[in-house]
Amino acid sequence: MSPSSPLPRAVTARAHANIALVKYWGKRDAARNLPAAGSLSLTLDALTTVTHVAFDPALPADTMSLDGRPAGAGELGRTSAWLDLVRARAGIATRARVDSTNHFPTASGLASSASGYAALALAATRAAGLTLTARELSILARQGSGSAARSIFGGLVRLHAGTPTDRGADARSSDDDEAYAVALPSPLTSTLRMVIAIVGGGVPKTIGSRDAMDHCAETSPFYAAWIAAVERDLPAAEAAIAAGDVAALGALVEANALAMHAAAIASRPAIIYWQPATLACLATVRALRGAGRAAWGTMDAGPHVKVLTTAADADAVAAAMRATAGVTEVMISAAGGPAVVVEDAAAC
């Protein structure tokens, strides 16, 4: 497709990170960034990335800043390779300037790559003159970061892995390369809240998610059991959402997160993201639940604990997490919306 307007063109987009309620952990094809199993998430309004993309014929190479600083060679190389997908689709060779800001800690286990690549996918395609469907954007974002496929959408989101056992009714029956996400509209979305407890100041983690999940798949004796658990948990989670059953959903969310970390911890050598404060947070969650509060913990590839709760209990849960030793910051998040364009220079 040719660009619909002349270059240079500059577009700024915003996207929200998401927390997987049924986790994405492992790839069946690392080169194409295809997940080993499906996943289910909640997009979070409190965690936002804003990305500006400008294609400029005067640039000899792509440039990138992240949180106001020049991106490292690895991050720039990865982004430039991904931008080649956009250039090929748009039929252009123009280099781009990318400026991305995460309004929360970067690379610390809070899904900054999800919101980052979702915002980049929307900004870059529009800046290249393309208008893609949400499903097309999801597929494109997934090629940068698997979880970014979900951050194209707001609220509750289901990522279909594209495998024969995880094809949605509208999925292509003959092409398993099209792992994509879809929104799951539900009245439950307005009820849910996520309390985010930052542990240890949100410093970058020592092993990235991509390397960690590959290592886990290769060495953990529990990995096959983990994938089997996901295949059971996904329909159960969808059933709980359809029934509006927060307690059933919460119990499944906590169990799924612990299963993922069990597989990671069993890797050889072990992948251990937890800090002492992580365990303290989980103890607080159990105490809250014992006191009758809606509270179920979940963790991604990092030490931070996110607590699935309801609007009615969110303040009490947040107060308890703030009082937990080792917690340095607490946020309450409602469901976030889809990725959106916030500025388009060509439209001005």
Question: Per-residue pLDDT tens for 267-318?
Answer: 999 999 999 999 999 999 999 999 999 999 999 999 999 999 999 999 999 9
pLDDT over threshold 70, residue 156: yes
Residue 1 is predicted with a pLDDT of 39
Q: What is the pLDDT of residue 284?
A: 98
The CATH number of 190-333, from 3.30.70.890, 3.60.40.10, 3.40.1280.10, 2.60.40.420, is 3.30.70.890
* Whole-number Å distance between alpha carbons of 5 and 219: 50
Mean of the pLDDT values across residues 29-36?
Answer: 89
Whole-prediction pTM value?
A: 0.91
Rounded alpha-carbon distances, angstroms, from residue 283 to 39, 110, 276: 26, 21, 11
What residue spans define the domains of the chain?
9-188, 190-333
Rg (CA), the chain: 20
| Buried b / exposed e along 123-148 (16+ C-beta atoms within 10 A) | bbbbbbbbebebbbbbbbbbbbbbbb
- CATH architecture label of 9-188: 2-Layer Sandwich (3.30)
